[in-house]
Chain A
């Protein structure tokens, strides 16, 4: 294997592991849920994307053919991370009394983070 490809794969692996660790550290350290959401939804997604690109590059250089499985996983994770963060934020607003009290009124019967049922 050429040394440039090896160095690129090494750098991508180390960057990915660093961002995974930073995201999990933010999850453990930050004070409340709305701030804790930032770590996993941004930093961890970047880390896993970097690791999967490293894997794709490694098997493209070492193996005979390029595989696109990793690209599939990357696209799937990048699409689902915002959806997960949004659902968690909605569940948190619905459950937290202090956060609901600080929000402006919605002028709807049910209020924030839930659906009005048609009677």
Chain B
């Protein structure tokens, strides 16, 4: 039952990543593209956690943690660059 739910959730999350990719491609402004990238990172964390449940292993959590941190820092650096014209002043 859990394996079937994992497969359904993997398909749903993949469709969500495709929707993010659509917004990343057509986004009218650069802030839309940053938002699409941020959402894509969160969906990627969801995929990693689902794979961990599906294979029954806990070795993927460090990868999920690192991707969460790198995604947050990336988004803040992009926004900082747009706001101030520089990342570290």
Contact = CB atoms under 8 A, between A and B. Distances in A.
Contact of A95 (B16, B29, B39, B61): B29
Contacts, number: 156
Interface string B21-65: 011000001111011101100110110011011001010011011
Contacts of A88: 31, 34-35, 38, 75, 79
Given A9-B2, A40-B39, A24 B16 contact: yes
Interface residues of A, number: 54
Contacts of A20: 12-13, 16, 42-43, 46
A36 B46 contact: no
Contact of A24 (B19, B32, B50, B80): B19
B29 A59 contact: no
A48 to B, nearest CB: 5
Interface in A55-93: 55, 58-59, 62-63, 67, 69-70, 72-73, 76-77, 80, 83-84, 87-88, 90-92
Contacts of B20: 24, 27-28
Interface of A: 6-7, 9-10, 13-14, 16-18, 20-21, 23-25, 27-28, 33, 36-37, 39-40, 44-45, 47-48, 51-52, 54-55, 58-59, 62-63, 67, 69-70, 72-73, 76-77, 80, 83-84, 87-88, 90-92, 94-96, 113-115
14 contacts: A16-B9, A20-B43, A21-B19, A33-B35, A54-B53, A59-B58, A69-B62, A69-B65, A77-B68, A87-B76, A88-B31, A90-B79, A95-B30, A95-B82
Given A27-B19, A88-B79, 16 more contacts: A13-B6, A13-B53, A16-B46, A21-B12, A21-B16, A40-B39, A40-B42, A55-B53, A67-B58, A76-B72, A87-B83, A88-B31, A88-B35, A90-B83, A95-B29, A114-B83
